[in-house]
Structure formats: structure tokens, C-alpha cells
Amino acid sequence: CAITNFQCTDGPVCAGDRIECSCTTNTSTLQWNISYSEVEPLIWNMITEAYFSHGADTEKYSYGYNFTFNTTYTGPDTSILTFNLSQSESVLIICTDSNDGDTEHTTVTDLGYYAKAPTNLTTTFNPSGVTLQWEDTDNNCTSTVYNVTVISCSCTSTSVLTYNTSKTTIHINSSDLLENVTYAYTVRGWNEQQGNISEPFTLAPIEVMSITINITNTTDPCKNNSCCANVTLDIILASSHPNQYYNISLYNSNTGLSSYKIKETERTGSELKYNEAYCFTVTPMSNCTEMPIDIGTSTTEYQCQPPENASPGFN
């Protein structure tokens, strides 16, 4: 005479999850004892007990715990316990064979209790708006809903935007944000754990303070009157700003004017001709509209020297 089977929901469980346990005995009599405690400190408090025997009541409900016995899908002498786990609690579940005292038990704990606040809040711009992203590596609760709060502060007003998402990223359309306004955001995760405030971000263009030309010699031989150097622009901003867009113009008297964005700041030696001067002009652009903004334009010049010289020069 003994308990022949006992099992409960496997894997990480968090507050609100549905827990199911089953207990089977070959004596047709069993008893459930349910206790709860805060996760820390662990002090057990009896909640309820339920006693079943073959032919007795088939269902009982007590303090949020639902017990069924001898159900059609489990077969005879099996009892099913179901309940939803409460926040920051542990539940001790004991099933006892009432005839010989044989017991099985398990403890179910809200793992969300150990969850940490979201970290590594980042901001990425693209033509349609801005993407906010964060990490939540110390949280095993897959049902987490994040509360994202975007705060803007200007000289005349303060506004707040709030979003809810089950993902660790959210995209905000540019139409929801104002240019020339600085924003920051915070994220609340499981159990209202709130991360640090993000770095400030804005849709407004950031002033270009200076441009430095970095030059490396090409590995291939100089061909077709080309410059023996690769030229890369190092753009210094008035303040740090991720993925700021630019209109970068390259001009010389023979080739005319061409434009490209910051991700194309490198010009290879095959594109530049020696004994010609090149003028680079950098103009900030609105991150979302990609329209040039007349602010902080900077210009620098590069003189590609003949291939017989040891190294190129610049102005």
C-alpha cells in the first residue's frame, strides 16, 4: 500500500502561473496538505487540507485551491490539484496515503521573486523612428509584461509616454516624438523591478564640432592614376548621440559633387586621384526624416599626393 505516482508542473514557475499536481494511491484513500510561506523568510503556514476516499466527493475548493478526485481522464484513485501561484510565495504540497502514511511532497516557488531589474537600455534610430531595447537576463518568468516610460523635458513642459510589451524591445514611430526635444526612458520588469534611466536621446541633429581625416595606405598597387590611400572621416559631435545621420558631400573641380551617409565615410584609393584636392562637408540630418538640417556644418580638405611619394598628405 503506497502512493504509486506523484508529479507537479515542471520547469520555472512564476506568480500567476497555473500549477497542476497529481497523486495516485492504490488504497483508494489519500490526503492533501497545503502550506504557504513568503519566499524569504521561509515560515510555513497551513492553508488547507483535503481528504478523499473512493466514492467520496469528487471536487473540493478551498482558499483558491481546487481538488478533484477519481476523474475520468486520470483513472480511479487519482486526485488532481490545481491552483495559481501567488506573488513572492512558496507553496508546500504534501500528498499522503491515508492508510499507511506514505507521503510525497514538493515545493513550488515564485522564481520572479529573484528577478532583477532590466539592464543595458539602448536606443537605435532608423528612418521610421527609434527602437528602444533592453536586457532581462536574470528573469525566468516568460509571462513578464514590461512597462516602458518615455519622459521628455523641455523649457515649457514635461510629457510622459507609456507602453506595455512582452518583448525586450519596442519601436516608437517618429510621429510620436518631437524634434528638438530630449527624451530618456525607464523599464519596469517583473515585480515592478525598475532599471536605471537610459542615456538621453533626441531626434534633433547634433552639431558637428570637427572632422578628422584618417589615412591608411592601400594594399593594392596604384592603378589608373589613383590615390594610394584609403580615406576615412572621424566626425566629432558636440555630444554623444547614437547613429546620428549626416549628409556628407565630397567635391573636387573635376568630379563634381556627390553625397553619402555616415555609414559610407570611407573612400578607397581607387576612387580618389592623386594631385587633386577633395573637400568634405558634413551636415547633420534629422534622424527620422533624413532631411539635411542647416546646423553645425563642418568642412575639411584632403590633398592626395602622387603615388611616388612615401605617404599621402592632407590639409
Residue/partner pairs of 298-303 with CB below 8 Å, 24 or more apart: 298/208, 298/209, 298/210, 298/211, 298/235, 299/211, 300/211, 300/212, 300/213, 300/233, 301/277, 302/213, 302/215, 302/231, 302/272, 302/277, 302/278, 303/276, 303/277, 303/278
Confidence (pLDDT) at 243: 53
Confidence (pLDDT) at 185: 93
Q: 3-113, superfamily in CATH? A: Immunoglobulins (2.60.40.10)
Joined together, the cell numbers standing for residue 84 give: 495559481
Q: What is the CATH number of domain 115-202?
A: 2.60.40.10
177 DSSP assignment? S
In sequence order, which residues have a C-beta less than 8 Å from that of residue 130 and are 6 or more positions away? Answer: 123, 124, 171, 172, 174, 177, 201, 203, 287, 288
Identify the architecture of domain 208-304 in CATH: Sandwich (2.60)
Spatial distance between the Cα atoms of 242 and 129, rounded to a whole number of angstroms: 13
Q: Which of 200, 203, 201, 186 is nearest to 134 (CA)?
A: 186
pLDDT in tens, 246-256: 667 666 656 66
Q: List the Cα angle 174/290/172 in 5-degree steps.
A: 15
Assess whether the region 115-202 and the region 208-304 belong to the same CATH fold. Answer: yes
Which residues of the chain, if any, have pLDDT below 50? 287-295, 309-315
Spatial distance between the Cα atoms of 201 and 124, rounded to a whole number of angstroms: 9
Confidence (pLDDT) at 133: 95
Confidence (pLDDT) at 258: 62
Confidence (pLDDT) at 315: 37
Confidence (pLDDT) at 218: 61
Backbone angles phi, psi at 35, to 5 degrees: -130, 155
DSSP 52-90: EETTS-SEEEETTEEEEES-TTT-TTEEEEEEEPPTTEE
Confidence (pLDDT) at 289: 42
Sequence ranges of the domains in the chain: 3-113, 115-202, 208-304
